[in-house]
Amino acid sequence: MTGAEPGRPIPPDERGEATDPAWMAGPPPPPPTGADRTGPASPGYRADSGPGSSPGAPGHHWRLGRHRSSLGSSGATLKAGVSDLTHRSPWVLAAGSVLVALVLTWLASALLAFRHSPGTTSQDRIMQFFAPGALDWGVAVVLGVALLAAGRRFDMRMSAPDVLRDAVSLGLCLMALAIGVSAAIDFLVELTNFGHGIDTAFAGLFAHAAALPLAAVAAWWAERLHTETE
């Protein structure tokens, strides 16, 4: 290494120092993160929507706005569905309400059949589960089918194809078949009651047998209405 002459200042390049002003200013700054980022944000990114944002922060209002928007769309869909039902034939709505009532009542009977109740025999549970095999159920399903048939006669709107009417007629047909099967099973179960008294056994047999013709007529009638509208 060459010695420097006395009295002569050593140039910066000979001392090994950089002449770049950026080096003299210090180390380069760290890459921008979070709110300091100046580049294009990723889709859906908000600097104020992090997990630590308070309820009063802008990010909180943004998420609350999206929640209100989803509630508004759900309310609009519900309102449109209700408006569509109001334009339906009242005969179809009445028949559909009968079908819904029968289905919900049967569901309640099925739940009671599987409840934990000391002293309940298996025969009682079977009779509870197949509760539709009774006269009142047969009358109810015939009423639902009769409402559909009356609507086809007195309401001109029911001449056009209707998905709801087809679904109700098919549901009533299936319900009538279920009532008939339940009545047949209850009839067979009642045959085991002769040991508890002939009068009680015959009373149960006649009660369940009364539902069979109603269920058969309702199933045939509903199936006929369903095929005629296809």
The residue ranking higher by pLDDT, 30 or 100, is: 100
| pLDDT, average across residues 199-222 | 90
Q: What is the dihedral of CA 171, 206, 189, 140, to 10 degrees?
A: 20
Q: How far apart are CA 134 and CA 207, in angstroms?
A: 7
**Is the pLDDT reported for residue 113 higher than 60?**
yes
Specify the pLDDT at position 142: 97
Convert the pLDDT of each residue in 132-174 to its tens digit.
Answer: 999 999 999 999 999 999 988 887 666 667 888 899 999 999 9
Q: How far apart are CA 213 and CA 148, in angstroms?
A: 19
| pLDDT, average across residues 197-220 | 88
Mean pLDDT for the chain overall = 75
The residue ranking higher by pLDDT, 188 or 29, is: 188
Specify the pLDDT at position 32: 57
Amino acid in the structure at residue 169: S
Q: How far apart are CA 48 and CA 45, in angstroms?
A: 9
Convert the pLDDT of each residue in 51-69 to its tens digit.
Answer: 445 555 555 555 555 556 6
Q: How far apart are CA 151 and CA 95, in angstroms?
A: 10
Convert the pLDDT of each residue in 12-27 to its tens digit.
Answer: 555 544 455 544 555 5
Amino acid in the structure at residue 168: V
Specify the pLDDT at position 213: 95
| pLDDT, average across residues 112-139 | 89
What are the residue ranges spanned by the domains of the chain?
A: 88-228
Q: How far apart are CA 138 and CA 190, in angstroms?
A: 18
Specify the pLDDT at position 47: 46
Specify the pLDDT at position 226: 87
The residue ranking higher by pLDDT, 230 or 110, is: 110
Q: How far apart are CA 223 and CA 230, in angstroms?
A: 11
| pLDDT, average across residues 198-214 | 87
CA angle 56–62–68, rounded 5-degree value: 105
Q: Could you tell me the pLDDT band of residue 199, with boundaries at 50, 70 and 90?
A: confident
Q: Could you tell me the pLDDT band of residue 85, with boundaries at 50, 70 and 90?
A: low
For residue 40, CA distances in Å to 33, 36, 37, 44 come to 12, 12, 8, 11
Residue in the block written with tokens 């109700």: 168
Q: How far apart are CA 168 and CA 223, in angstroms?
A: 11
| pTM score of the predicted model | 0.62
Q: How far apart are CA 89 and CA 8, in angstroms?
A: 109
Specify the pLDDT at position 124: 86
